[in-house]
Structure 1
Amino acid sequence: MISTLTISALTKRFGEVAALTGVSLTVAPGERVALLGHNGAGKSTLMKIILGLIPMTSGQVTICDAAPGSAAARRAAAYLPENAAFHPALTGLEMIRHYLTLRGESPSLAMPLLEKVGLAQAARRRIGTYSKGMRQRVGLAQALIGHPRLLVLDEPTSGLDPVSRREFYTLLDDLAAKGASILLSSHALTEVEARTDRIVILSKGQMVAEGSLPELRRRADLPVALHVTARNGYAPDIARALPNAILVDGALHLTCPQSKKLETLGRIAGLGDKVADLEVLPPSLEDLYAHFSQGTAQ
């Protein structure tokens, strides 16, 4: 498979400090990859190297077969920082027209870009009156100039309200469906859990886990939680059938290893009408992140 972004054995040292060690990663066209890690894990350093802002110590990085920082790589990649800043006296429309001109694109494309990010109604207002979330949308409109093949997004939903976050990820879904590769860093784990194809976890400069959410769950082998709601009067029967369950407010809570999940579900199904409801809660991305980043698995 042809990759938009390819990283091989990437290492970056600042003097005696290893910021990144042996990181290898690919991002395919149309793929959405979440980059997770605590502050200081190496996420920002990795993004800066991809964008050609700082050199690597060793290894190789290519963007559409071009070296980071080259003219070809700059044309292919776009970046949205966590805190996008623009001239407060300019309107959103004027700002995007300016960036279009700098990129050699027609200024007439400004309004369609602002419409795409949901800023059409505020296009002629000064950016100084914008909320942080609206400034992020201006930044995304700027990043979309030239139809980049790789979007590098650093905490892109910072400052956005829940509705705006949902709209933002819908836009990313649309871009990915059209072939754009997306690498995003985020601390909002519940967001990326459902809206990315693959997850990469960095810890102390090393990639400690990589894969889809189901793959990470299999590797971590963390317990599955089950909440069983009994029909009136049947809680004792269910408790006897599930001796490890804990009764809380009429519901029975229990956990089981991944390898015992189907067996446990079969026992619950065998209780028939005594069960009013069943909720299965697999390990969340937060659980997996804590598991891998703490070095409990490699």
Structure 2
Amino acid sequence: MIEISGVSRRYGEVHAVSGVDLRVHAGEVFGLIGHNGAGKSTLFKMMLGLVAASTGEIRIAGESVTGKRFREVRRGIGYLPENVVFHDNLTGLETLAFFARLKGVPRTQCAPLLERVGLAEAGGRRVRGYSKGMRQRLGFAQALLGEPRLLFLDEPTTGLDPEGIREFYEILRALRAGGTTIVLTSHILSEIQERVGRLAIMKSGRVQACGTVQALREAAHLPLRFELELAEGDEHCVQGALHGLGLPALRRQGGTVSVDCPRASKMAVLRALSALGSQVSDLRVREPSLEDIFLGYAS
């Protein structure tokens, strides 16, 4: 669906995006993460054809974003920017009707979309009275006009409460099931960890890594963490069981003993700990979180 080849964007001496190569497959949910200023929003704007690349090429659905036919392709794209701005004097329904007219979409889509994003009862109210979360929902409804086959969502859950975030991702699941390709950014890494198929980590305008969360875990060589609840004895029994495996020092917090280990040592550690038998009442193995992975690549 998206092919990015050697793309860069300069603003004078500033390299906002530098030599990016990416492929996003049709029907996948793809995450783009990075610090503020990493180049995510600039890359979004280039994929939308709003900002021209200084070098390289971007193709959407086989068409170059600088080509004559891209205007037609863009009709099948939805975009939710990071900062949503609407006319305060219009109602929610009037706002959506305004965008429907710009997109050449039947106005009959507006009311059902407001209901879909949870704004059915607020459709007749002026936007000036909307909360941040309600504005975000309205922006999402705008992005869904015309049943786009490709969605760009820049920090889409900003201002949403936990229920709103859950409802948002339920809609994304339904869209993906229908074949929609979704590219999103988020600073809430725990939120997207289990909700994207693949993701790219950007730093200083470059892609540092790309793949599934599990593939990035393994490539970053981050340690696993074993957490044990002891039924009998103390951490000395754990130290004895793990002696000779070359692991770092144990940590104890309350009744929990934890130790980090390289992924390659996982089974050896499990075998050693199983010998403790009833001395261990519970055992948890913690994989590195997406935040751990991000910090490992972005530091």
Into which bin does the TM-score normalised by the smaller protein fall? over 0.9
List runs of 5+ in structure 2 lacking aligned partners.
244-248
Q: Distance in 2 between matches of 1:137 and 1:113?
A: 10
Q: Distance in 1 between matches of 2:204 and 2:90?
A: 41
Q: Distance in 2 between matches of 1:97 and 1:23?
A: 37
1:56 aligned to 43, 49, 53, which one?
53
CA offset at residue 38 of structure 1? 1.1
Counterparts in 2 of 1:24-35, with a 5 A limit? 24-35=21-32
Counterparts in 2 of 1:206-285, with a 5 A limit? 206-233=206-233, 236-243=236-243, 244-285=249-290
CA offset at residue 270 of structure 1? 2.7
List runs of 5+ in structure 1 lacking aligned partners.
none
CA offset at residue 153 of structure 1? 1.0
After TM superposition, the score normalised by the length of structure 2 is 0.92
Structure 1 residue 23 and structure 2 residue 20: aligned? Answer: yes
Q: Distance in 2 between matches of 1:54 and 1:97?
A: 26
Partner SS state of residue 15, structure 2: strand
Partner SS state of residue 115, structure 1: helix
Task: Tell me the percent identity.
Answer: 44
Which whole-Å deviations, capped at 9, do the CAs of 1:183-229 have from their partners, x for residues lacking one? 11111111111111111011111111100000000000111111100
2:295 aligned to 270, 281, 290, which one?
290
Counterparts in 2 of 1:142-153, with a 5 A limit? 142-153=142-153
1:41 aligned to 23, 38, 61, which one?
38
CA offset at residue 121 of structure 1? 2.1
Match of residue 158 from structure 1: 158
RMSD: 1.6
Partner SS state of residue 63, structure 2: coil
Q: Distance in 2 between matches of 1:105 and 1:150?
A: 16
Which whole-Å deviations, capped at 9, do the CAs of 1:14-47 have from their partners, x for residues lacking one? 2233222221111112211111111221112111
Match of residue 246 from structure 2: none
Structure 1 residue 93 and structure 2 residue 98: aligned? Answer: no
**Which 10-residue stretch deviates more, 262-271 or 232-241?**
232-241
**Which 10-residue stretch deviates more, 42-51 or 95-104?**
95-104
Aligned residue pairs total: 291
Q: Which amino acid aligns with 1:191?
A: E
